[in-house]
Structure 1
């Protein structure tokens, strides 16, 4: 049996990002046979522009993202909430991964969203917008794999999410559901 590969895209570029720490904690929950990689370099990808999306001349950073998404079995998106929606850097990654139209790297990939915010709403708007964007882009949204974290500034101020048993349980469930979707063993109601 081959290893299941999950690519994680983190919507916060800040070095001390709690969203990044949540992605790191999710990677720690990976069972044997599952590799979770956090994609580096989202900030270097130019904004999607069809004039730049020319076969053979796609910017190297965008081509590298597409290759990473194509090589993954599933995608985990971790998003903060900026002004009531997902960050531009995450939306841009989804846009590049959705092209060429109808055949983008994300098409048919199981995808889940983890959202986290300092507010009590757990980045609900960003979560919804990310789910919508991934679905429109052709990803297979695994609703049962989603996780949301509220008031993260207080909850994780003194501790890494990897040291929070409840967070690890939630993130582990997310990873489990994504792997089940990849393997076709996801049970739906």
Structure 2
């Protein structure tokens, strides 16, 4: 069995991020052949086209990490009805300069959790629009908009609800099948 490397982008930098917990829960449910690497995005400089001639080292490392991955997983909160700026910044950096889009052709999925009743539906839609433009083939179904409540996920990715575990296992199974179509 060959290894499939998944680059994981968690859009929240918060220490107690519920989306980081969601990412860990997905990893726990995945088969061992998937190896997940959380991509650090908090220390990146704000993208400017001035970088295009001479990319800063941390931006080059981000591009290399994405290029070394076989697949992508975006786990995003919703800030003001959209994706967090730190996530958009990382995407801009890894997709530039023009003609060197590190994401192109890599299969991916977008999921998220929020304490709000609508989960992260709008953030995910905005993110999907950006990723479609960047030629990331995205898993369409099932959509994962987790309404987070205390005890649902812990810091190690354990799931406190049988129904949520079953739902997330269904997502993971579909994601693995989706990724295998491309690698």
Shared fold, TM over 0.5:
yes
> Match for residue 42 of structure 2?
43
Is 2:109 the counterpart of 1:112? yes
Distance in 2 (alpha carbons) for counterparts of 1:13 and 1:75: 18
The verdict on how the C-alpha distance between 1:142 and 1:6 changes in structure 2, with shifts beyond 3 A counting, is same
Question: Aligned to 2:87, which of 87, 90, 108?
Answer: 90
Is 2:136 the counterpart of 1:149? no
Q: Deviations over 1:90-126 (max 9, x none)?
A: 1111112222324411001111111211111111110
Alignment map for 1:52-131 (pairs within 5 Å): 52-54=51-53, 57-131=54-128
Distance in 1 (alpha carbons) for counterparts of 2:100 and 2:128: 19
Distance in 1 (alpha carbons) for counterparts of 2:152 and 2:171: 24
> Match for residue 24 of structure 1?
24
Shift of residue 163, structure 1, vs aligned partner: 2.5
RMSD: 1.9
The verdict on how the C-alpha distance between 1:59 and 1:125 changes in structure 2, with shifts beyond 3 A counting, is same
> Match for residue 6 of structure 1?
6
| 8 Å contact kept, 1:115–1:148 | yes
| 8 Å contact kept, 1:6–1:75 | yes
Distance in 2 (alpha carbons) for counterparts of 1:6 and 1:145: 19
Gaps of 5+ in 2: none
The verdict on how the C-alpha distance between 1:68 and 1:172 changes in structure 2, with shifts beyond 3 A counting, is farther
Distance in 1 (alpha carbons) for counterparts of 2:57 and 2:166: 37
Question: Aligned to 1:162, which of 158, 163, 177?
Answer: 158
Distance in 2 (alpha carbons) for counterparts of 1:30 and 1:158: 18
Q: Deviations over 1:34-62 (max 9, x none)?
A: 112222x21111111110122xx311221
Question: Aligned to 2:168, which of 148, 159, 171?
Answer: 171
